[in-house]
Structure 1
Amino acid sequence: MNYARFITAASAARNPSPIRTMTDILSRGPKSMISLAGGLPNPNMFPFKTAVITVENGKTIQFGEEMMKRALQYSPSAGIPELLSWLKQLQIKLHNPPTIHYPPSQGQMDLCVTSGSQQGLCKVFEMIINPGDNVLLDEPAYSGTLQSLHPLGCNIINVASDESGIVPDSLRDILSRWKP
């Protein structure tokens, strides 16, 4: 399925910055290459050389010098390729999404790593909601959702909910008066 019709004009107009594109290309180059194109700092100058993290059960996770250099350096905008690959394999193992083998032009499954759920919500809303769009939202709603929606200039239509979720009669009433 081509999802382009669901994307806002602002999202459709976005293009990667040339520097970020260069970072992605350089990340696939040989380790011996020294490029000044992306402004990558010399990893030998990073203040942290190694790290050891102890988790609650006492197990430790060690990051050696090479891993720390990689962790502290700029990475492709989409994320660290090994992390993305691992997360995609996890999605396949747990959910087996039917679109995983589709070509990208047909809606192939992909993922986006964010710093948290709030950032993820904001990104999705900004991609698909235009000013004046109607958004059905259960009431009460998560305050973070409201904070993300208000700047977009959309019309929030509250749908009553109870301990079981959205109240079907409330949704039916709203949709019966719907004038798209």
Structure 2
Amino acid sequence: MNATIVIILITCLISWLAFKDNRWFTELILWPPAIKRGRQYYRLVSYGFIHADLSHLLFNMITLYFFGSLIEQFVSNYIGVAGYVALYVSAIVVSILPTYIRNVDNPEYRSLGASGAVSAVLFAFVLLQPWSLIFVFFVPCPAIVYAVLYIAYSIYMDRKGSDNINHSAHLWGAAYGVLFMLCMEPRLIGVFLEQLSSPGFLS
């Protein structure tokens, strides 16, 4: 059992407990006043282990399952399994910080879900294998094409602000995943650019 599976199991368990008992939900969700005034800094991490509903949970965990193991193996070769866990947990924090700062005095704001950390893992995969086919709602799509569309959509929806999804966390998580990988192995940028110039389906 690898660390990715352990993260998925822990997230599913905590999310299930929060579904069943609202006290878990209330204590773990990111709520700015509890962090600023109550010094409950753990919420900057705990919010990433609860979800709004089952579909939200499944989407994040299925995505993590398909891309996490490869990234875990790659990162572990450099800095160990603990390094991969550090990538995931730190992505939870980093992806939410801009949103938290914007809403630090907004008692009405709440945020939850692993999407920021999952975006970090997904974009780390895109950096490694930009032309790999991934399936988006059962439709095959090159990873780099999906990444561009994902970023464009997230920027548009973040500016529009018409739903309850934290698109900012998706963007910051994606950027952090790439930066983490490049800090760990700077030569990846050269490998990425070389792969980008040679699409696999044209070879």
Classify the TM-score, shorter chain: under 0.3
Q: Which is richer in strand? A: 1
Q: Which is richer in helix? A: 2
Higher relative contact order (CA 8 A, sep 6+): 2
Normalised TM-score (structure 1): 0.26
Q: If you compute each CA radius of gyration, which structure gives the higher value, 1 or 2?
A: 1
